[in-house]
Structure 1
Amino acid sequence: MRAVRSTRVLSAMAAAAALLLAGCSSGGGASDSSVRGAQQGRPATALEPLPAAIPANLSAYYAQKLSWQACDQGFECATFKVPLDYANPAGGDLTLSAVRKPAGGAAQGSLLVNPGGPGGSAIDYLEGSIDSFDPGLRAAYHLVGLDPRGVGRSSPVACLSGPQMDAYTATDMTPDNLGEINALVAADKNYAAACEMQSGSFLGHVSTAESARDMDVLRALVGDSRLNFLGKSYGTFLGATYAGLFPSRVGRMVLDGAIDPSLDSLAGNQTQAGGFEVAWADFAKDCVTHQDCPLGRTEQQAGQGIDALLKQIHDQPLNTDSGRKLTESLATAGVIEAMYADYLWPSLRSALTSAKAGDGSALLKLADAYYERSPDGSYANLMFANTAINCLDLPAPFSSPEDVERAMPAFQKASPHFGRDMAWMALSCAYWPYKATGTPHTIRAAGAPPIVVVGTTRDPATPYVWAQALAGQLESSRLLTYDGDGHTAYQRHNACIDNAVNAYLLAGTAPNPGTRCAK
């Protein structure tokens, strides 16, 4: 449970793996922990655009020729080079990987997609969700998935082995005494040390700003004068960063499940905790209307029931059919996983019923989906990249356990059920081996064409207020609101949202200001 996650629960690949990822809250910013705000009371500065002309020392990267090769069931794959450090292009290269689904008709260019994370694989997302894209879009665009630096197939960050990650995710995230606090700190320090050992100085070059610059290289290599982009969750921060750096090269851009770049990591994590509390309240309200709800018949009983169950699991972890124990931290991750989409609520009711009967298997499967753990015990690099990117993008919210304890009342006020977990989760970046290179900032993207920002009113991972904030910063924004539950809105079977986004991507017709869609 480390940061605002990607939207994999919304794609076919998520279903195939067992379910979504996205991230809850990471140590550094807010996952989707890649959130930001006025750092320590200082006003957030504006992100300034880069010079419009391509620097001479980067011209060789922009002059590469892509060689698309058939791969992966009708997709084409390619790799290309980018500098490890844009400030020193002569210092070495990185190899990035992309896939595309060629347009089914006369192409009007490429549409780059990113599912979020940070750490979600755009390649896996596109390959797994291709059928969910509107037929008109598939005909009009080459759909392209680029794994950002450090992610998936693009020089992935590596940290812990499968068994080591099992132990880390099972660590108590609500320590009650000094011994438990010390165990959590030791786990976070060990995690950071393992990442440094496995990935080295590369950890200092996986920032969102660098990935946005990588996208501009790819834009040029696919032959587009402007970047067309669909970003979800953390992908909205990636896309907005691109717009801020290259406003004159923005094409049609949709940012769904927006992150507010002006928040510091402390404010972001607290706000996200509140988002999950809102989602929990909606789950509880729905749960008590079903006969199979194991938590009671009123919303108050449901809240008391989940607290009691998690306390019971803390004291006595549950057996599972995998032989692993379901600890409180894993149980909480399973609950949070189900907050990402209301279609997961029946699965959560069933899992909680089994847990109350002493079987933690179903809740553990939800937690494994959150962490992208495969049945063979291996993990995708999602959480490793998530931490590395978040810790680089923003200064850590806490430097010590004492800081966490001082902030605890605010977290628990924002989220009585998840605040303690999310406050302690935010400690991990305190021990990261590389200092943050990013700071909170606003993004204007002055001169860019209309940018569509999509916000869901009861989104747990990227609260609606973030969409409102980002739309308020972007000079050309159009805020499209979905009055509903779950993380992100586009491609989630709401015709109003889908039609509005598709009309914009296909014809450039941006939604009217104030457009609102309901369930």
Structure 2
Amino acid sequence: MDYDRPLQAENMIEIGIAMHRPSEPKGVIFYNPGGTDAGIVLAWQIALDQTKIFEGLLDHDLLFMDVRGTYSSNPLNVSLDLFQTLFGPYPTTPNEYTVFQEASAIVVQSWIDLSSPPGIIAHVSTREVVNDYEMVRKALGYAKINFLGASYGSFRAQQYAFNFPDQVGHFVLDAVTPHALSLSESALDSIAASNRALERADAYCQSDVQCPFHTQERGSLIKAFHTLVRIAENVSSLESVGVRQTVSAALLEGPSGLPDFLAISLGLHDALSGNFSFFESSTSLTVADVVAMPLECSDQSESGLTFESFNLSLAEGLRHDTSGIGMAFAWQIQLWCSAWPYSFSEKTPLLVQKSMLLVTSDFDDGSPTEWTTFGWRQAPKSGLVVRHGDGHVSFNLADAPSNNLTKSFLRTGILPSTSDDFSVTVYPPGGVREPISDPYQVPFRV
């Protein structure tokens, strides 16, 4: 459990693993589908039973592994009633910031008290997780591993490549969460991504007759959202947060894996007519929804954070907020983790001198495309694939035009040739990325 101590009976945890093993495997692919959004059973079903996203790679060993602290891997636990106290508007005064810290301390103590074995919460960071990967590699006898890291899985993939370069095979980082971004940098990128995502929803309305704003001028959906936020603010700041959170979640991912633009447009139109069902249909919070908090606290906390530094970041971010969503996970995680009592990783760049493939989509509202560009600069021998479209994580979309490039690299380790068309642009190592596509110019396709 604690890699700073000898491995022995009282210092071990269980890690859940599932594998696909062909009769004559041509290699191994470790698959980390994200932060903690899919346990091994769900990942297995998604990958092999539903979307068939691994077609063409089934001659490899495919290994799905729980991140420690989740699902079957000594899962963390917390009081959801206590966790609910962390939801609300961002603090605007030193006193409100102190209240958040006090609530954070109570929630962290709940994680400590309810999780098993005792002390595991202090050992769930990426530092430990990549050592788990290395232990599994050794136990199964692989000389090198190939790795598909999606979303927060890319954060762990880069850490593994940095720590264990001799064991790196073919690594794909899809929808990159990079190392070394500060709170302010991360938040600004998230605000820019939200701006683009809402413009994409508006562009959808211009192109699809099903949208109730289709006959109105460009920007009509954005205006409708701003109107609804103002109405909600007149009720309460908490109501306004709920409206913005609902739209933000729908812009991230809908049932198809892509943003649910039609549901957003219909929901906004109905709400302005008095029907708020779209904003009242959220499901109840579960521990699985929030179990990433301790993992992210260990990785993303920032030393020396005060109300003044937080408020400066907030003010700068909101100054660039044209969407009106005004939310960034970087701010949220810093508040949730403001009373984190354990050590955390310093925000240090990880220069990886291996040939990897980084993949992003222009309008990803979960991992802003700027994050992938930032990570690409820390991997000077790596190629970059930019998919011109929507959705968080390309590989989970069965028909994404970038997937053939991803699969080819996982099989061969050969970077794709430089190219540029309406669906995908490929950059060579050391290239210069062109400006992000205009949200109103990119066609609506996977």
Same fold (TM over 0.5): yes
> Relative to structure 1, is the Cα distance of residues 434 and 185 closer, same or farther in structure 2, using a 3 angstrom cutoff?
closer
2:346 alignment counterpart: 439
Indicate whether 1:338 and 2:250 are aligned: yes
Is 1:348 matched up with 2:267?
no
Counterpart selection for 1:173 from 71, 80, 89 = 89
Change (3 A) 1:235 1:254: same
Contact 2:171 2:357 in 1 (8 A): yes
Matched with 1:78 is none
Residue 237 of structure 1 contacts residue 261 of structure 1 at CA under 8 Å; is this kept in 2? yes
Matched residues in 1 for 2:420 and 2:370: separation?
16
Match of 1:292 in 2: 211
> Which among 248, 260, 265 is matched to residue 178 of structure 2?
260
Gaps of 5+ in 1: 1-82, 318-325, 369-376
Q: Relative to 1, partners in 2 of residues 1:455 and 1:181: Cα closer, same or farther, differing over 3 Å?
A: same
Task: Provide the secondary structure at the position in 2 that maps to 1:442.
Answer: coil
Alpha-carbon deviation of 1:274?
Answer: 1.8
1:133 aligns with 2:53: yes
How far apart are the structure 2 equivalents of 1:351 and 1:188? Answer: 33
Q: Residue 470 and residue 513 in structure 1: after superposition, are their counterparts in 2 closer, same or farther (change >3 A)? A: farther
Between 1:206-215 and 1:467-476, the stretch displaced more is 467-476
- % identical aligned pairs: 19
Report how far residue 454 of structure 1 moved: 0.7
Partner of 1:137, secondary structure, is: coil
How many Å apart are 1:295 and its aligned residue? 10
Summarize the alignment of residues 41-440 of structure 1 with structure 2, pairs less than 5 Å apart: 83-90=1-8, 92-103=11-22, 106-117=24-35, 120-131=38-49, 132-138=52-58, 140-161=59-80, 163-165=81-83, 167-168=84-85, 171-174=87-90, 187-199=103-115, 201-289=119-207, 290=209, 292-293=211-212, 297-316=216-235, 327-341=239-253, 342-365=258-281, 367-368=282-283, 377=284, 379-384=286-291, 386-396=292-302, 399-416=305-322, 417-419=324-326, 425-440=332-347
C-alpha distance after superposition, 1:441-478 (max 9, x if no partner): 222333x4x31111212222222222222222224312
Change (3 A) 1:408 1:296: farther
* Contact map agreement 1:395 1:435 (CA 8 A) in 2: no
How far 1:215 sits from its partner (Å)? Answer: 0.6
Which AA in structure 1 matches 2:77?
Answer: A
Report the secondary structure of 1:152's partner residue. Answer: coil
Q: Provide the rounded CA distance (Å) in 2 between the counterparts of 1:405 and 1:495.
A: 39
- Deviations 1:331-354 (Å, cap 9, x if unpaired)? 322211122244511122223233
Task: For residue 214 of structure 1, report the CA deviation from its aligned partner.
Answer: 0.5
Q: Deviations over 1:64-90 (max 9, x none)?
A: xxxxxxxxxxxxxxxxxxx33345545
Paired residues for 1:479-498 under 5 Å: 479-494=384-399, 496-498=401-403
Partner Cα distance (2:301, 2:319) in 1: 23
Q: After superposition, what is the alpha-carbon deviation per residue over 1:367-402, rounded to whole angstroms, capped at 9, x for unaligned?
A: 54xxxxxxxx46142422x22112111333774444
Q: Secondary structure at the match of 1:499?
A: helix
In structure 2, how many angstroms separate the alpha carbons of the residues matched to 1:404 and 1:293?
39
- Indicate the residue corresponding to 1:49 in structure 2: none
Residues 472 and 402 of structure 1: CA distance in aligned 2, closer, same or farther (over 3 Å): closer
The change in CA–CA distance for 1:287 and 1:180 in structure 2 (over 3 A counts) is farther
Q: Structure 1 length normalisation: TM-score?
A: 0.71
Shift of 1:482: 0.9
The structure 1 segments of at least 4 consecutive aligned residues displaced by more than 6 Å after TM superposition are 176-183
Deviations 1:234-266 (A, max 9, x none): 111111111111111011211101122121233
Structure 2 counterpart of 1:474, one-letter code? A
Shift of 1:178: 8.5
**Given the superposition, is the C-alpha separation of residues 221 and 360 from structure 1 closer, same or farther in structure 2, using an over 3 Å criterion?**
farther
Code of the aligned partner of 1:415: D
Task: Provide the C-alpha distance between the structure 1 equivalents of 2:29 and 2:232, rounded to a whole number of angstroms.
Answer: 46
Measured in 2, the distance between the counterparts of 1:86 and 1:119 equals 28
| SS of 1:339 mapped into structure 2 | helix
- Describe the SS at the equivalent of 1:100: strand
SS in 2 for 1:251: strand
- Please give the alpha-carbon distance, in whole angstroms, between the structure 2 residues aligned to 1:258 and 1:208: 15
Identify unmatched segments of 5+ residues in structure 2: 425-444
In the superposition, the TM-score normalised over structure 2's length comes to 0.81
CA RMSD of aligned residues (A): 3.1
Given that residues 284 and 302 in structure 1 are in contact (C-alpha distance below 8 angstroms), is that contact kept between their aligned partners in structure 2?
yes
Which residue matches 1:454?
Answer: 359
Deviation at 1:182, TM superposition (A): 6.9
- Please give the alpha-carbon distance, in whole angstroms, between the structure 2 residues aligned to 1:279 and 1:238: 26
Deviation at 1:98, TM superposition (A): 1.0
- For the residue of structure 2 that corresponds to 1:454, the secondary structure is strand
